[in-house]
Amino acid sequence: MTASAQHTASYYAASSLPQPDYPALRGEVTADVCVVGGGFSGLNTALELAERGFSVVLLEARKIAWGASGRNGGQLIRGVGHGLEQFANVIGTDAYAR
């Protein structure tokens, strides 16, 4: 494993169970959905889709929770720092209403 694939020194890294090193994807894989990024967002998306019967491939460039998800302060912050209606501009009002 290269240094950039190590978790940053944090409480999570120090207290988590050992995480296996998954091999790099080689060749082709077919799935209903490919999720890129193994942080909170990607893991939750992959899990929700799998629970609904979709086949899912999750690609993580480094390690699960290598990014912000493995570094945060653990405070439960509900919502986001801007109005949710802003998503409607990006994904459309139909998708936003779901």
Ligand X SMILES: Cc1cc2nc3c(=O)[nH]c(=O)nc-3n(C[C@H](O)[C@H](O)[C@H](O)COP(=O)(O)OP(=O)(O)OC[C@H]3O[C@@H](n4cnc5c(N)ncnc54)[C@H](O)[C@@H]3O)c2cc1C
Of 56 and 60, the one with the shorter C-beta distance to ligand X is 60
Of 4 and 30, the one with the shorter C-beta distance to ligand X is 4
For 43-91, the three-class secondary structure string (H helix, E strand, C coil) is HHHHHHHHHCCCCEEEECCCCCCCCHHHCCCCCCCCCCCCCCCHHHHHH
Q: Does 62 bind ligand X (CB under 6 A)?
A: yes
Interacting residue with ligand X among 29, 31, 47, 61 (CB under 6 A):
61
- The pair of three-digit structure tokens given for residue 71, joined into one six-digit string: 């570094």
Q: Does 42 bind ligand X (CB under 6 A)?
A: yes
Q: Does 88 bind ligand X (CB under 6 A)?
A: no
Interacting residue with ligand X among 7, 37, 46, 56 (CB under 6 A):
37
- Looking at residue 34, the DSSP 8-state letter turns out to be E
Q: Does 56 bind ligand X (CB under 6 A)?
A: no
Residues that bind ligand X (CB under 6 A): 36-42, 59-62, 66-69, 71-75, 77
